Amino acid sequence: MPSTLPALDGIRVLDFSTVGPGSRCTRILADYGATVVKVGVPPKKAGLQTQPAFWAYSANRGFRQVRLDLKDGAAKAAFFRLAENADVILESFRPGVVDRLGVGFENVRKVNPRIVYCSTSGYGQNGPASKWAGHDINYLAVGGYLACTEPGPGGKPPIPGATIADSTAGGMQAAMAIMAALLRREKTGEGEYLDVSVAEGVLTLMSLYIDQHLATGVEPGPRHDVLTGRYAYYDTYVCADGKWVAVGAIEPQFFSNLCKALGCEQWLPHQNDDSRQEQMRADFAAAFQRKTRDEWATELASADACLSPVHEIRELVHDPQFRARGAFVEAKHESEGTFSQLAPVLAGQNRADEPIVAGDASKSDTEALLQEAGLGMDEIDRLRERGAIA
């Protein structure tokens, strides 16, 4: 069980991101106990930023918000007052934007040499692709993920069912890099700049196949290897009710259990025989048609056959394993009411008491945050009067 003291207790993060890898990162940091302050723009400029749905990114639970017009000199000065006491700044603009705004790493570290400043971008801060626009599917494309995933009709690369690049290659990479930098700061006393490239994060996800190619010349792709579907025992199969199961019986003992359960003992001596895979696959497919998905799951999921049901989202939210582990919590939103959401589920994160108070992106903590940074009410009022804050 995690300690009752959150791992990042006392760490303060200023977050310029609104969606994508940056917001995935700060969601993780907040769920480890960091205080995350979302830095946005006043309403008159809000159209410049993507505004996610109220439930997105765990409904802003645990976030505070400040709205500043960084093109206003006094508002920019107020930002630096906030930055003086921050531990981390995260931004996900195009490369060069924060420097043009005057709030990049070099300027911030003049007032706070201990700052960990993280830039998340699609391709990194330099290189011929650094200014390219992109989203999750683009980074998975250039990083080899789409080319190694089973294609659709005509060889069409698939559209993944999750934002793998944003969430893992980008958001988790950024969170891990930030936490490592905070640990290094404890030894050196100094902050640092982090250049997070989501596309390079995809390379780490594909490292098994990239390293295989570089070392042996093999050209990875769909069904080239065990994990890309070369063998019948690592595949998905439709059952009698039209629902699907996933099978990953790689080890010989698991393969043996699977074959016996399916009545396919004839394939026991031929697990990795390439010449037999298509017939084996056909026999497995026919066997799975004898029962429903849930019947197979009941029989085999706990029987060392490496079988699991392919759950739809509406099913997994009721899954007894996830429920037993406390994977879902209730959240309460001031205007949207009470609803369920995914709890902090990563190892070492503390589960909050229910119901969790959801954030309200339409509201602002600007006045309180600026007061905490040392600004007087007269300064705050002047900023508000000319629309530089909200």
Beta strand 35-40 with 12-15 is: parallel
- The reply to whether 166 belongs to the active site is yes
The dihedral sign for the CA sequence 144, 145, 148, 153:
negative
Distance, in Å, from the CA atom of 284 to the CA atom of 251, rounded to the nearest integer, reads: 17
Complete edge-to-edge strand list for the sheet that includes strand 244-248? 234-238, 244-248, 307-309
Plot region of 30 (φ>0 → left; ψ -120 to 50 → alpha; else → beta): alpha
The dihedral sign for the CA sequence 208, 309, 260, 285:
negative
**Quick check: 24 and 171 in contact, CB under 8 A?**
yes
Query: How many other C-beta atoms lie within 10 A of the C-beta of residue 136?
Result: 22
- The reply to whether 224 belongs to the active site is no
Catalytic residue among 72, 135, 311, 360: 135
Catalytic residue among 15, 69, 166, 235: 166
CA–CA–CA angle 271, 275, 280 (5° rounding): 50
Active site residues: 135, 166
